[in-house]
Structure 1
């Protein structure tokens, strides 16, 4: 953890450049004085807290590799065949330079951010009284839930196939800002710590303004301060923490617990302002399509470089050796050649320029109307996932198909028959619903699917075992265990 401490100190310093350097001259230790100065004001506390979200949207985390990039390549979402620059990631060649560097960077960025969270939590306790208890609880609840999310995603990527070997060593867990490496824990212990963090976060977030004011609107709570009361849908709020808990419990095989939490969120969404299924008119609007179904997102991460990333990965001008795009036959198979599905058009289109004959990905393309609130947003937790969890964990098949068909209806599709194979239908929806959001590979790993469709071939599957599903720990971590 030593190198992470140096990195987070740098991030901390950069986020506070508005503070006069002259205030710190000839004072030792500099880092402690800087911390005290920062946490002496409410604006300083907010600066550091907001810096955590900026780290989350970085290229190595949810602004890139954990949403639309590396983890989607592992899920065979794109054609990475032949001489494509990311071919070795698509082939799970983890010991080779490109995959090894990519997954080392993900690990390092995740644990650097976890250290940021822990430093924030310790510092806000040490400087209690700068903001009210109510405000502090909100910020601490968000931070603890973020810590849980990062550990869980590192477990999903670098840990064992939980369904097969839950007691195997997996990753360390850091709930304090330490500079030494914690030991690797069995995956079961990591899950327990994640759930404990989420339960604590949920308690701290119990008065979240999102419950009364929805995703965007400001509230009179917390002195009407917009940092606490507005745009709650762009923060790790109470409902997002519960979504994460449902996801974690299902991953751990606790279907009863996952069902209860998913249903709690589904019912809450019916009463919270501005939540609800995104209409066909909004999703497929020819001028300003809401391709991320924003009214369904409990938490969308803000990334103000999102459109640069869209162009860098998916633009028609990119060469075939660098573009992230599926084979036409593969994406048609995902949507069963049905463009009535709101997720098909306008997210997937054959471009009119650039010479490409395959459908390209437009989910994160900008829209002309710059006042649209869904701009720059990457979905993190969605209503559709809660319906899929409820589908998978319902007490009876009839209840399962009710949840599934509700989702399908709100995607422009007809009901599936009660005679359909439920597991097959759930997999179909995961393949359609989460493209560019980093969930499909983890779904396959959770159910321990022995094969998945080969994204780099017009037909056929990739055989999947622990060799493909379990990303090796970086050398820097192994060497210090």
Structure 2
């Protein structure tokens, strides 16, 4: 970790301000000069804060690997058979060169971003005279929530199967901008720190305008500065943090706590529908389909390079060894051969060019109307997940079916029978709901599924175990422990 501290400070701050070279005999360290200049005004603080979100959209994080690429391959979402360039990831061959470098890059980028959040939190406190406490609390709450989110996803990927071995070694936790490596902690200790960070973030975000004005913001609070109230749905607002907390509590096995948080948010949405189910005509619009169901997202990450990534991964012009596409039989099985599902037709179709005869993925394809709010957005926390969490954790099974039926109704599907097997139906919905969003593999790992459908074969399953679910720590981390 120590070798990244100066680099992080330098990269973040040089992107904001240039350094005067007139005082070349000044012995103050370069990173300290940059920091003082960056934090010399409220606008500078905002720029550094926004830089953290730009890091989240890095291709090694939620801009690709943790949403639509590596973690989806681990979840067997695509056909990676034969000589596909990513075949070794799909077979969990973590010691091979490509998986090893891919997951090392994810690790390094995640902890660099964590270091950035910690440096921001340290620096904003040191320059508290430049920004009001109300504004600082909002920015700090978001940063702490981001720190928790990144640690949680590193725990989900590199930590043990929590349901089976919660006390096993997992990952380090960093809550300071330090130059020394922290020890690898038991998974349950990391989980406790994540939950504590989320609770701290929620307390700091108590004045978040989202709950009263919605995710696009209409208030002129915070001295009328739009940075603090506009487009709250593209930031780690208090509602998104609570969604994350529900996800974390469920992963930790606290079903009572997860249900309480999910149900609180569901009731909030019913009372103040700033977040609402995306209507059929918006989801399936011919020219401007809202394939990400943007009205349902509490937080969607903005990525201005999204459509380039769509072309690099899913475009029909790619050859069979490079495109990420499912076998048709597998895709039909996921959607139960039902194209009435809103998640099927807009995002999966046979392309009119490129020579492909199987359906390819269009979820992140651009739309005709360039003014659409959902352009360049990747879903991070959304309404449907709350209903899935509530369905799984409801004290009464019949209520679980009711939550699931609400989700199904808003995806164009009929109600389940009262005798339906709840766990089976929840798994089916996870397979449909999160394609290209990076949640399915973590769902399988959370429930410790011993077998999952083999995405690279027309039938059959992949037998799963800890050796496949637990991505090894990178050599660089092990060598510093």
TM-score normalised by length of structure 2:
0.98
Distance in 2 (CA, whole Å) between partners of 1:298 and 1:367 is 21
Matches within 5 A, 1:36-435: 36-435=36-435
How far apart in 2 are the matches of 1:315 and 1:208? 39
Looking at structure 2, the residues matched to 345 and 25 of structure 1 have their Cα atoms a distance apart, in angstroms, of: 62
Q: Deviations over 1:335-368 (max 9, x none)?
A: 0010100000110001111111111001100101
Is 1:213–1:272's contact at 8 Å kept on the other side of the alignment? no
In 2: Cα distance, 1:32 partner to 1:57 partner = 27
Write the distance in 1 (CA, Å) between the matches of 2:95 and 2:353.
38
CA distance in 2, matches of 1:441, 1:223: 44
Q: CA RMSD in A?
A: 1.0
Cα distance, 1:340–1:23 mapped onto 2, change above 3 Å: farther
Work out the CA distance in 2 between the residues paired with 1:43 and 1:382.
30
Answer whether contact 2:259 2:390 (CA < 8 A) is retained. Answer: yes
Shift of 1:213: 1.4
Is the Cα contact below 8 Å between 2:302 and 2:378 reproduced in 1? yes
SS at 1:223 equivalent: helix
CA distance in 2, matches of 1:89, 1:162: 22
CA contact (8 A) 1:170 1:184 kept: yes
Conserved 8 A contact 1:292-1:363: yes
20-29 or 307-316: bigger deviation:
20-29
Per-residue deviation, 1:273: 4.9
1: CA distance, partners of 2:405 / 2:262:
16
Aligned length: 480
Aligned to 1:21: 20
Gap runs ≥5 in structure 1? none
In structure 2, stretches of 5+ residues that fail to align are none
SS at match of 2:416: coil
**Residue deviations 1:242-262, cap 9 Å, x none?**
000000000000000000000
Cα distance in 1 for residues equivalent to 2:23 and 2:84: 50
In structure 2, distance between residues paired with 1:394 and 1:272: 23
In 2, the alpha carbon distance for the partners of 1:454 and 1:24 equals: 63
For residues 212 and 88 of structure 1, the distance between their equivalents in structure 2, rounded to whole angstroms, comes to 48
Moved more, 267-276 or 278-287: 267-276
What secondary structure, in the 3-state scheme, does the structure 2 residue paired with 1:129 have? helix
TM-score by length of 1: 0.98
Q: What is the CA–CA distance in structure 2 between the aligned matches of 1:172 and 1:471, rounded to whole Å?
A: 15
CA distance in 2, matches of 1:10, 1:408: 49
Question: 2:390–2:403: 8 Å Cα contact kept in structure 1?
Answer: yes
Q: Indicate the SS of the match to 1:270.
A: helix
Secondary structure of 2:462's partner? strand
Q: Quote the offset at 1:38 in angstroms.
A: 1.2
SS in 2 for 1:299: strand
